[in-house]
Amino acid sequence: MIIEYCQKTIEKAEYKKLEDGTWFAEIPGFRGVWANGKTVEECRRELLTVLEEWIILKLRDGDSIPEVDGFRVQITELAVA
């Protein structure tokens, strides 16, 4: 589930080539999730790493994570009998 969530989220990324020839990417609606790289692919890989770390921090802190194309990431408590 998390892999699919990350894939769908990365598809929403916006990329921009900077004046120095490097690439910058961010995901709208995901504050603090951005990356730089020498190539688009390097930037995308870094963005994916940042997104994964961001999700872990959000889960740890109990913060909400935006739904993306019907995919949700959340922790639910199970009752133990």
Q: pLDDT value at position 76?
A: 74
DSSP the chain: -HHHHHHHHHTT-EEEE-TTS-EEEE-TT-TT-EEEESSHHHHHHHHHHHHHHHHHHHHHHT-----BTTB----------
Spans in the chain with pLDDT lower than 50? none
Q: pLDDT value at position 73?
A: 87
d(CA 81, CA 77): 13
Q: pLDDT value at position 81?
A: 66
Amino acid at 29: G
For domain 2-61, say whether CATH 3.60.15.10 is its number: no
Q: pLDDT value at position 26?
A: 98
Domain ranges of the chain: 2-61
d(CA 24, CA 43): 7
For the whole model, what pTM was predicted? 0.88
Q: pLDDT value at position 28?
A: 97
Q: pLDDT value at position 79?
A: 61
